[in-house]
Amino acid sequence: MKSAGVLLVTLLSLCSFAQDKKNELGLLLGAEFIPQRTTATGARVDFGNSVIFSANYARHLTGEKTVLFLEFPFAAAPQHTVRTSDPNFIRSLATLYVAPSLRVKFAGQSAFSPWLSAGFGYGLYEGSERLVNGAPNPARYVSTGTAQFGGGVDLRTPIHILFPISLRGELRDFYTVANPRFGTAIQNSGQHNLVASGGFVIHF
């Protein structure tokens, strides 16, 4: 009887927690775009676009109509092809970012809710094993501080599979504060990495 009572209290607590729905998990798919760069020798560098996989856990902090979240956006793009005439440059590039941020959602009780986000975190660049000229890449993995800022729209839906599910479209810029150390140095500091993606959000 005692164990049944404990089980009942636990179930009621879980139901109460689920009804609060203060947590979100977003799963998105999109593309990453890296603007054209120029090497220190003056060669142009063009990055091909890459598919990007994104996940985002967020916790509701405060507010109902204007809502503040603490979020942890994560994004990883496995394959940017690189085109350049510089023989000492990389052939391809993969990227990964995680940037704890604050997100402000407007019209939080509406079916259509725009939002803005900004934060700072970690970025990882993985270059190709070999450079264009065939030589080994001396700096294949590079870590860097990363600022994140962006915005998007959440669309409430009637879908409910264990938990309510909404749709999301977003555009983020993961801006690395220092240049990745490619085979040849890049002109100017910092690099914009633009991510456009869409998917669904589970509320629990």
Give CA–CA dist 175/179, Å, rounded: 10
Count Cα atoms within 13 angstroms, Cβ side, for 46: 4
Q: Which CATH architecture has domain 21-203?
A: Beta Barrel (2.40)
Q: What is the mean pLDDT of residues 75-93?
A: 95
Residue-level pLDDT at 139: 84
More confident residue, 40 or 78: 78
pLDDT at 109: 84
Q: Does residue 200 contact residue 125 with C-beta atoms inside 8 Å?
A: no
- For the residues 48-52, what does the mean pLDDT come to? 98
Q: Which residue has the higher pLDDT, 108 or 171?
A: 171
Q: Which residues contact 156 (CB under 8 A, 6 or more apart)?
A: 110, 111, 112, 113, 166
Give all strands (DSSP E) within the chain, no chain letters: 23-33, 37-38, 44-47, 50-62, 67-84, 92-98, 101-105, 112-127, 141-155, 160-161, 163-176, 194-203
Tell me the percentage of the chain whose pLDDT exceeds 70: 90
7: phi then psi, degrees, rounded to nearest 5: -60, -40
The string of pLDDT tens digits covering residues 107-118 is: 888 899 999 999
Mean pLDDT, rounded, of the chain: 89
